[in-house]
């Protein structure tokens, strides 16, 4: 190996100015990371996604390899014998350690750590050997030729890793046995473009690291001139300065981003700018919470309330006006005050006189799943009250720190409701149900941590449906316990059911399904229930032996530290790309499953014909509202030419939603027929595929 000079100090900072031997080791481990990053995961991904995964993986691998190799160099100089032999022994011992400690489901952190150490040792040895071989092969060339040879060897390392991990049976998790894809969108990767872009991303990241190192060196030199001594005496001060500068810059960027997201979350849309006039809805003139205090998602949900005539047309039965109550984050300064406002709204609207009282736990942005809520309103013939209390207006990824607030105020709401229900005669009490989605599932489950099913029973919760519960939910982990992912789960504990995928729910014996009162539904290829920090350092159960992997998980894929974490993170970004009016299924999209799950678990009576009508009406309403939001926004553009361009864009977009050939737009008249009457030129049927059966009679306002 190349020496480190006269100093025995080890520089653990990953940067491109590392010693030659360490830099080469970093290059080869980075190339191996690129090769491993092309394995399939839960969902398909595009060229840009692949480039991001490969670029970040390569940069991280480079940093780890340069730092580790520098340490290895300092150690091997003190040990007798051949460096090459030591590196070979290191590789073999690391591989042997991995082989000796195979992955086990529910294994201890210590066991996972030992295997991770083995993988790291093996990778370090291999990258060091590759660095040594590269040094020998390039020793007689210099300049551009040396760079070209090194690049070619790195390409061989990337290709070799890809071929080693690749097999003919590898499939993405979203791919079913018949080859069809179980997700909203199908994406494809252009390998050449992805590799080219990933190299640029890696270079940019390493350039940033080099810039940080340069800033640290300059800070150390400045400290030496001011305080005396040599720059080496002030290395710590230089690194502290660099860290502080990076932290301040990151903080400023994050604050700016949060400000933009907050503004969007609190923003007013033209299509939902007018307050409702229905007394049973929060924000109406009779309401104790003004329309001006509502967030974007609150205004959407309250504006979209079903009216009795619309329900009657779908159900072919008399209906009453449903109640919707929404306590927005801006409605009061603290959680107790928000709960007081919500309870006052429930009393004002006589919500406790309805047949069903439903608590909807929103996502981080405050979004309430309208498919679930409208299904409830249809199937109760309007004899229901739906409520929601908001804990954030930011996307869920930026709302994680607010989960404790969400849990606390949801607990306050439930406690107040239980007290109110206990004060009501048993024969007059409404059924109390709950629906949670995504981060809202984690929030509403959080109040039952360590209580199992007893917590649900204790608050008188008659039924609950949760979809897409995040992996961080402690309550869900406790319920799952030590059962194996290899076997289809049975109902339990008690009346709780936690399927591995939607297929488990479908295949459940009808008698067993009728017992379920609390359903934690998830798609097998949904990354939200699978993503967590542990993916960085331990193999998840869903990536165990292929024979144990349930539907929705990738076949033939090997877990790679950090790489699998990045792949699953990108899958999360791609998990919800719905087409309005088209209820596809897969990823984090549950629109197809929610109506049936709500009807079954909440015990809401409906015939098959009524359920078909509900399914179709839900699709038309979604298309109507999305088209209206886009059109009203375009119409609000003041500049005439820009407004015409925006209108044309909306007409083309809606045409794409309807599946018109060759990107043909809808006409303005057709667009208004959709928005105002629910008349769809080419509509979508109950199975989520195009049909010509749906018209205004299917149930629109």
Residue 77 is predicted with a pLDDT of 54
Encode pLDDT of 473-510 as tens digits.
Answer: 999 999 999 999 999 999 999 999 999 999 999 999 99
Contact 553, 529 (CB under 8 A): no
Q: How far apart are CA 509 and CA 270, in angstroms?
A: 48
pLDDT digits (tens, 9 = 90+) for 204-258: 887 777 776 777 677 777 777 777 777 666 666 666 766 677 677 777 777 777 6
pLDDT at residue 700 greater than cutoff 50: no
DSSP 389: E
- The phi, psi pair for 582, rounded to 5°, reads -115, 110
Tell me the average pLDDT across 356-383: 97
| pLDDT range class, residue 163, cuts 50, 70, 90 | very high
Q: Is pLDDT larger for residue 34 or for residue 205?
A: 34
* Token pair in block for residue 416: 């107040």
Which residues are CB-neighbours of 426 under 8 A, at least 6 positions away?
none
Asked if residue 592 lies in contact with residue 586, where contact means CB atoms within 8 angstroms, the answer is: no
Q: Which of 442, 298, 433, 465 is nearest to 354 (CA)?
A: 433
Which has more confidence, 12 or 239? 239
Q: Is the pLDDT of residue 689 over 70?
A: no
Residue 295's beta-bridge partner residues? none
pLDDT tens, residue by residue, 314-335: 999 999 999 999 999 999 999 9
Proportion of the chain above pLDDT 90, given as a percent: 63
- The string of DSSP letters for 370-424 reads HHHHHHHHHHTTT-EEEEEE-S-SS-GGG-GGGHHHHHHHHHHHHHHHHHHHHTS
Give yes or no for residue 542 having a pLDDT over 50.
yes
Strands 323-327 and 356-361: unpaired
Listed by start position, the domains of the chain span 20-168+190-262, 267-528+575-618, 621-698
The per-residue pLDDT for range 617-641, each reduced to its tens digit, is: 999 999 999 999 999 999 999 999 9
Q: What's the rounded Cα separation, in Å, for the pair 251 and 248?
A: 5
Which pLDDT does position 503 carry in this prediction? 92
Q: Is-contact 51 59, C-beta < 8 A? A: no
651-682 pLDDT per residue, tens: 999 999 998 877 789 999 999 999 998 888 75
- For the chain, the average pLDDT equals 87
Determine the pLDDT at residue 75.
58
How many beta carbons lie within 10 A of that of residue 88, not counting itself? Answer: 16
Can you name the residues that pair with 437 across neighbouring β-strands? Answer: 467
- Three-state secondary-structure class, residue 175: strand
Instruction: Give CA–CA dist 242/224, Å, rounded.
Output: 16
> What is the model's pLDDT at position 701?
31
- Cα separation, 112 vs 102, in Å, equals 9
Distance (Å, rounded) from C-alpha 90 to C-alpha 360?
55
Residue 62 CA to residue 59 CA, distance in Å, equals: 5
Per residue in 85-142, pLDDT (tens digit) is: 777 888 898 899 999 999 999 999 999 999 999 998 888 888 888 888 888 877 777 7
Give 393-408 pLDDT, tens digit per residue.
988 888 899 999 999 9
Residue 352 or 7, more confident: 352
| Residue 372 three-state SS | helix
Per-residue pLDDT, 239: 62
pLDDT of residue 476: 97
pLDDT of residue 147: 78
Say if residue 493 is preceded by a cis peptide, omega within 30 of 0: yes
Whether 596 and 604 have beta carbons less than 8 Å apart is answered as no
21 falls in which pLDDT band (50, 70, 90)? low
Is the predicted pLDDT of residue 7 greater than 60, yes or no? no
Query: Is residue 53 a contact partner of residue 570, using CB atoms and an 8 Å limit?
Result: yes
The reported pLDDT for the residue numbered 206 is: 77
Q: Find all residues with CB under 8 Å of 456, minimum gap 6, and list them.
A: 448, 464, 496, 518
Q: What pLDDT, on the 0 to 100 scale, is given for residue 520?
A: 98
Query: According to the model, what pLDDT value does residue 150 have?
Result: 81
pTM for the full predicted model: 0.88
What CA–CA distance (Å, rounded) separates 355 from 357? 7
Closest CA to 620 of 654, 665, 585, 646: 654
Per the structure block, which two tokens stand in for 143?
A: 């300049």
Query: Would you tell me which CATH number, out of the four given (3.60.10.10, 3.40.50.1820, 3.20.20.140, 3.20.20.100), belongs to the domain 267-528+575-618?
Result: 3.40.50.1820
Classified as helix, coil or strand, 78 is: coil
**If you average pLDDT over residues 280-298, what whole number do you get?**
96
> Measured in whole angstroms, how far is the alpha carbon of residue 306 from the centre of its chain?
30
pLDDT at 69 over 90: no
Residue 154: pLDDT band with limits 50, 70, 90:
confident
What DSSP line would sit under 238-252, residue for residue?
HHHHHHHHHHHHHHH
Closest C-alpha among 593, 358, 569 to residue 470: 569
**DSSP 8-state code for residue 676:** I
Distance CA(321)–CA(308), nearest Å, equals: 5
For residue 256, give every residue at least 6 positions away whose Cβ sits within 8 Å of its Cβ, in sequence order, or none.
none
Q: Are strands 463-467 and 496-497 parallel, antiparallel or unpaired?
A: unpaired
Alpha carbon 285 to chain centroid, angstroms: 38
Q: What is residue 554's three-state secondary structure?
A: coil
Is residue 565 within 8 Å of residue 536, measured between CB atoms? yes
What pLDDT does residue 674 have? 93
State the DSSP code for 435.
E
């Amino acid at each position: 190996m190349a020496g480190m000079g006269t100093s025995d100090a080890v520089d653990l900072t990953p940067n491109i100015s590392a010693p030659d031997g360490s830099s080469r080791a970093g290059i080869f481990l980075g190339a191996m990371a690129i090769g491993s990053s092309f394995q399939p995961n839960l969902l398909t991904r595009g060229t840009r996604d692949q480039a991001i995964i490969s670029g970040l993986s390569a940069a991280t691998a480079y940093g780890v390899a340069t730092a580790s190799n520098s340490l290895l160099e300092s150690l091997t100089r003190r040990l007798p014998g051949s460096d090459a032999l030591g590196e070979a022994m290191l590789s073999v011992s690391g591989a042997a350690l991995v082989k000796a400690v195979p992955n086990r489901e529910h294994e201890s952190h210590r066991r996972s750590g030992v295997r991770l150490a083995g993988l790291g040792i093996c990778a370090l040895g291999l990258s060091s050997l590759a660095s040594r071989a590269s040094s020998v092969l390039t020793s007689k060339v210099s300049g551009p030729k040396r760079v070209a040879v090194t690049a070619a060897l790195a390409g061989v390392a990337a290709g070799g890793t890809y071929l080693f991990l690749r097999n003919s049976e590898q499939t993405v998790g979203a791919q079913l046995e018949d080859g069809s894809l179980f997700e909203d969108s199908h994406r494809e990767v252009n390998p050449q473009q992805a590799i080219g872009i990933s190299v640029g991303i890696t270079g940019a990241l390493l350039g940033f690291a080099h810039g940080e190192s340069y800033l640290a060196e300059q800070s150390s030199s400045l400290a030496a001139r001011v305080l005396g001594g040599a720059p080496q005496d002030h290395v710590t001060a230089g690194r502290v300065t660099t860290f502080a500068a990076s932290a301040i810059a990151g903080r400023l960027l994050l604050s700016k981003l949060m400000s933009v997201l907050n503004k969007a979350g609190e923003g007013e849309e033209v299509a939902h700018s007018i307050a409702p006039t229905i007394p049973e809805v929060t924000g109406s003139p009779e309401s104790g919470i003004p329309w001006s205090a509502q967030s974007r998602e609150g205004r959407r949900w309250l504006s979209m309330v079903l009216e009795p005539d619309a329900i009657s047309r779908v159900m072919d039965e008399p209906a009453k006006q449903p109640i919707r109550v929404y306590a927005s984050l801006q409605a009061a300064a603290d959680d107790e005050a928000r709960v007081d406002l919500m309870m006052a709204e429930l009393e004002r609207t006589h919500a406790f006189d309805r047949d069903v009282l439903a608590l909807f736990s929103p996502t981080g942005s405050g979004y309430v799943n309208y498919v679930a809520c409208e299904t409830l309103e249809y199937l109760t013939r309007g004899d229901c009250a739906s409520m929601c209390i908001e804990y954030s207006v930011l996307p869920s990824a930026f709302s994680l720190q607010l989960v404790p607030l969400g849990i606390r105020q949801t607990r306050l709401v439930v406690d107040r409701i239980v007290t109110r229900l206990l004060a009501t005669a048993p024969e007059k009490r409404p059924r109390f149900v709950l629906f949670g989605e995504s981060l809202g599932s984690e929030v509403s489950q959080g109040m039952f941590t360590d209580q199992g099913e007893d917590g649900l029973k204790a608050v008188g919760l008659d039924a609950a449906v949760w979809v897409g519960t995040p992996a961080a939910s402690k309550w869900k982990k406790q319920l799952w316990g030590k059962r194996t992912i290899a076997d289809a789960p049975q109902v339990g504990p008690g009346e709780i059911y936690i399927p591995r995928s939607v297929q488990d729910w479908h295949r459940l014996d009808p008698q067993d399904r009728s017992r379920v009162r609390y359903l934690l539904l998830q798609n097998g290829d949904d990354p939200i229930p699978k993503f967590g920090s542990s993916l960085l350092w331990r193999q998840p159960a869903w990536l165990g032996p292929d024979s144990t992997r349930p539907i929705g998980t990738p076949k033939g894929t090997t877990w790679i530290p950090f790489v699998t974490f990045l792949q699953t993170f990108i899958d999360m970004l791609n998990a919800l790309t719905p087409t309005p009016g088209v209820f596809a299924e897969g990823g984090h999209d549950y629109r197809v499953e929610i109506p049936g799950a709500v009807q079954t678990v909440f015990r809401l009576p409906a015939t098959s014909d009524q359920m078909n009508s509900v399914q179709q009406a839900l699709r038309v309403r979604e298309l109507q509202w999305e088209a209206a939001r886009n059109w009203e926004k375009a119409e609000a553009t003041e500049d005439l030419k820009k407004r015409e361009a925006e209108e044309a864009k909306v007409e083309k977009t809606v045409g794409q939603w309807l599946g018109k050939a060759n990107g043909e737009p809808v006409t303005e008249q057709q667009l208004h027929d959709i928005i105002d009457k629910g008349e769809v030129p080419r509509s979508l049927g109950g199975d989520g595929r195009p049909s010509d059966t749906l018209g205004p009679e299917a149930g629109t306002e």
